[in-house]
Structure 1
């Protein structure tokens, strides 16, 4: 006997539109780490020239090399003539220098050293070209869908591209996977071998504002405009944001601060489903029990725009009835939270108990009940 399944979508509440943030950036992405919520996006998946912000991927590759033991913080790397000849922002390295990996990390983060990136690229892959190919390949593996690298430092190239979404993804991974190295992003100054004392300050405009900012990287070229990958922590929340295409250093600083204030002030954390709470008792087809509870693994916390707590749409979606056998922990549906202006939050719903398949008599009884329900439905229609 065949079961006839119905997609169930139980609506708990209905949502009304929330006011979106209007950014002056040409491309932007704002993300709440704790809830995994994209708070705002604007052309976030469009490949754009990332300028020095793409140095974050170089640092990601270097941090992975530290983790797997290919280099240590005190490993010294040689400086090639190619690295020494790099223009733009530099550590002022020369061929006689042997900077350590730790110094290179600080030089890339604080001084935005183009030369330091080439030293890292050549030290890890032999050539910068080989390193750029490795960056692109590794980027695909970690979820960078709109990134192609042709150098290690963001030097202008017609095919060197990243999206603001991809930049935000790298930032999130740096924060979550490498906390021991991420602390360097909060450094406000660094000087290598007493060189260029006036050029020792971090360009991140948010670090000294007292708003919880602790990273990550600025970028600027004529083609890209002014951009910033930033992150800030207030109370138990961390926000990551990426902006690009601003027309001045001042505009970048003002827009960055405006976004941070908006992200922390406009949203409040709401616990919609406590951990372990049963969301729904779903009908079971041909099982030893007629229903099974569906719950979430860790509960559901969402960010709700201020003043619209009662305007959130929550749907419980599953195929009904659920066929036995069912094992505790099986994913059987989803809880979908919709807040206009942000992407839907989708949380898996899992079974709270084992439901074995019924024996022969139980299956026959279930089939009879199902036929009866179909007959009633046909009469009603």
Structure 2
């Protein structure tokens, strides 16, 4: 027996010496996100990655697909192509959607506002398809627009086959790409009127009153949480694209492939806790701040007001001083009419110790039409006479 215990102690010491100790590397052995297939955390304004694990791994997103669906809907609202009070008629195709649904009937009519509640709160597949048909003319055309928007956002590992996330071949994205989509959606502040609600109702004042309960339980349990979209299928497992805001800083966290809702929520909460504990933001310029005015070739008006397309923000590790920063405004040369308001025409860059730490898009502050021949003739004449 004595010999056995001596052998056991030696074996234990040997194993302790051979097995590697844990490290502090956030991207390799951090306890957070260890149980999920992929994860990422970014700061919303700068897009800076604060943590990532397998962030470019292509995976099925399940109902997180609806982040892109919502993005295109809010884009249409901002461009006044649709309004919240518009009536949306439900097709046979939309009403036939399985999975998460609000049980829309063929021919039933709801406002865009009600449809947004159904999508953002209850993850209604039927409402998603109804809105896709309303905005795009057909679900097929809307899906085409989803993929076009993904390309505009520079997403290299995303492809959509439907608006809902129901399982289908060749429908995939990554944690990184989901974070970028969520970042773009978060710029439409109106979206939080829907994603931040824990419960609401459809068909108010009718016999078919329908209770909506948010599939994202962090809305109720995590301080500052106000979005954005859960997802689950047998293939995708439990996924969540979440966002929260504290002390003026918004973070976006994505986990894909968690084993359970509890693990999904716990991992997201831990990742956001680390972000809020480690970083803070300093606002430099408000969105819409006039930065410059530049001439536009053959433009009406002749000069374009150039403004910040979003807040200019400096992201800092807590405890770090802002220090000396270098500010630079870069604007495209030879601006040509026509130019649509909101078109990106340059950027406002902040550098620290030779490294770019903030890059804010600069956009056209108004529409610039192409000047008519008489306007151009008058300008040339005035220019000659005033030399």
Query: Measured at CA, do residues 49 and 196 of structure 1 come closer, stay the same or move farther in structure 2, by a change above 3 Å?
Result: farther
In the alignment, is the contact (CA less than 8 A) between 1:37 and 1:303 conserved in 2? no
Q: Distance in 2 between matches of 1:62 and 1:270?
A: 30
Query: Measured at CA, do residues 213 and 90 of structure 1 come closer, stay the same or move farther in structure 2, by a change above 3 Å?
Result: same
Query: Measured at CA, do residues 233 and 347 of structure 1 come closer, stay the same or move farther in structure 2, by a change above 3 Å?
Result: closer
Q: Distance in 1 between matches of 2:159 and 2:38?
A: 17
Which among 210, 220, 226 is matched to residue 208 of structure 1?
220
Q: Deviations over 1:24-83 (max 9, x none)?
A: 221111012245421111121222101000101111111111122221101111111111
Please name the residue that 1:248 is paired with.
260
Please name the residue that 2:203 is paired with.
193
Please name the residue that 1:231 is paired with.
243
2:50 matched to 1:39? yes
Q: Which has the higher contact order (CA 8 A, sep 6+)?
A: 1
Q: Distance in 2 between matches of 1:332 and 1:180?
A: 27
Give, in angstroms, the shift of residue 167 of structure 1.
Answer: 1.0
Q: Distance in 2 between matches of 1:132 and 1:330?
A: 30
Q: Deviations over 1:96-155 (max 9, x none)?
A: 310111111110001100000110111122221221111101221122222111101111
Q: Distance in 1 between matches of 2:200 and 2:281?
A: 41
Please name the residue that 2:192 is paired with.
182
Structure 2 unaligned runs (5+)? 1-22, 286-310, 327-345, 360-387
Please name the residue that 1:303 is paired with.
316
2:107 matched to 1:96? yes
Q: How many correspondences in the alignment?
A: 286
In the alignment, is the contact (CA less than 8 A) between 2:222 and 2:269 conserved in 1? no
The more displaced of 180-189 and 147-156 is 180-189
Q: Aligned ranges for residues 1-381 of structure 1 at < 5 Å? A: 19-20=25-26, 21-22=30-31, 23=33, 24-176=35-187, 178-193=188-203, 200-265=212-277, 267-269=278-280, 301-304=314-317, 335=352, 346=357
* TM-score (norm: length of structure 1): 0.67
Structure 1 unaligned runs (5+)? 1-16, 276-297, 317-328, 338-343, 349-381
Give, in angstroms, the shift of residue 244 of structure 1.
Answer: 0.6
Query: Measured at CA, do residues 303 and 35 of structure 1 come closer, stay the same or move farther in structure 2, by a change above 3 Å?
Result: farther
Q: Distance in 1 between matches of 2:126 and 2:353?
A: 47
Q: Distance in 2 between matches of 1:299 and 1:61?
A: 24
Query: Measured at CA, do residues 159 and 303 of structure 1 come closer, stay the same or move farther in structure 2, by a change above 3 Å?
Result: same
In the alignment, is the contact (CA less than 8 A) between 1:336 and 1:346 conserved in 2? no
- Matched position secondary structure for 1:107: helix
Q: Distance in 2 between matches of 1:89 and 1:207?
A: 19
In the alignment, is the contact (CA less than 8 A) between 2:46 and 2:315 conserved in 1? yes
Q: Distance in 1 between matches of 2:349 and 2:219?
A: 45
In the alignment, is the contact (CA less than 8 A) between 1:167 and 1:229 conserved in 2? yes
Please name the residue that 1:6 is paired with.
none
Give, in angstroms, the shift of residue 302 of structure 1.
Answer: 3.8
RMSD: 3.4
Query: Measured at CA, do residues 72 and 26 of structure 1 come closer, stay the same or move farther in structure 2, by a change above 3 Å?
Result: same
Q: Distance in 1 between matches of 2:88 and 2:60?
A: 28
Q: Distance in 1 between matches of 2:147 and 2:41?
A: 23
* TM-score (norm: length of structure 2): 0.66
Give, in angstroms, the shift of residue 190 of structure 1.
Answer: 2.4
